[in-house]
Amino acid sequence: MKGVILVGGLGTRLLPMTRVTNKHLLPVGRFPMVYYPLYNLVEAGIRDIMIVTGGNAPGDFMELLHDGSEFGLEQLSFVYQRGARGIADALRLARSFVGDDRVIVMLGDNILGGSIRKHVTAYQTQPSGAKILLKRVHDPERFGVAEVGDSGRVISIEEKPEQPKSDLAVVGVYMFDEVLWEILPTLTPSARGQLEITDVNNAYREAGELSADVLECEWSDAGTPESLFRAAEITRGSAFWQQANLPTGA
């Protein structure tokens, strides 16, 4: 199984900090933001990872991470996404890297307060299809919201619904099998001109092939000054991150 971390975007909600670098290189607590999804994947057993960059300062990722050996990676690759064409478009750039393997995709600004190992292990035993991670929230109308049946299969996904059917927000962690590459060419741009990850998930859902796990640990994105502060609080208060052996470059 291979990993893909998406670190594109202009980070306009974090101006003026993002005038000088990509938002995923801003500090969250002691470490750059991108360290957290990278370590989450490594701790879950993923050793081959591609980082899809975009926006400004793509070379800064290579300067920071080099070949990934400090994290114990066997392979670390980089590719650049031109324009704001959406998460699903970014995944198309990883086609040759992933090959016939399954893939776990993480949004680079999603900070989790714990391990995802058990969820990755569960997916690896799933015969086919995809898996998404969810988190119970008090304000689901701000997020993509999933409705899950008793079998653990996803019944519906709605983007920022006015009347949510559940309190389960879709977290930026997705796991796909090789059917992903059949779905991507069928997508059409949304109203905002992007290829949406929700459309990928819904294609799996319509085929009855989308499962979901609910996170027990804390979760936040880090796309605004407020959520960036919240993400730092999560890492400081997490035993998982306090015990993590993140490289310091010393």
Is 129 within the bounds of a domain?
yes
Contacts of 44 (CB under 8 A, 6+ apart): 104, 115, 116, 117, 119, 120, 121
Is 125 within the bounds of a domain?
yes
Is 153 within the bounds of a domain?
yes
**CB of 190 within 8 A of CB of 198?**
no
**Once rounded to an integer, what is the mean pLDDT over residues 133-156?**
92
Residue range of the domain that includes 127: 2-243
Is the predicted pLDDT of residue 123 greater than 60, yes or no? yes
Token digits of residue 8: 């594109």
CB neighbours of residue 92 within 10 Å = 17
Is 102 within the bounds of a domain?
yes
Indicate the pTM of the whole model: 0.95
- DSSP assignments along 1-33, one per residue: -EEEEEE-S--GGGTTGGGTS-GGGSEETTEET
Q: Which residue has the tokens 């701790």?
A: 43
Is 250 within the bounds of a domain?
no
**Domains: count for the chain:** 1
Is 75 within the bounds of a domain?
yes
% of the chain with per-residue pLDDT over 90: 79
Per-residue pLDDT tens over the stretch 64-97: 999 999 999 999 999 999 877 889 999 999 999 9
Determine whether 204 is exposed, middle or buried from the number of CB atoms within 10 Å of its CB (0-12, 13-18, 19+): buried
Per-residue pLDDT tens over the stretch 202-241: 999 999 999 999 999 999 989 899 999 999 999 999 999 9
Q: Which residue has the tokens 């730092």?
A: 232
**Once rounded to an integer, what is the mean pLDDT over residues 106-130?**
97
Is 214 within the bounds of a domain?
yes
d(CA 21, CA 193): 25
Is 249 within the bounds of a domain?
no
Residue 250's pLDDT is what? 57
CATH of the domain at 127: 3.90.550.10
Instruction: Provide the b/e sequence for 172-203 (b: ≥16 CB within 10 Å).
Output: bbbbbbebbbebbeebeeeeeebbbbbbbbbb
Determine whether 239 is exposed, middle or buried from the number of CB atoms within 10 Å of its CB (0-12, 13-18, 19+): exposed
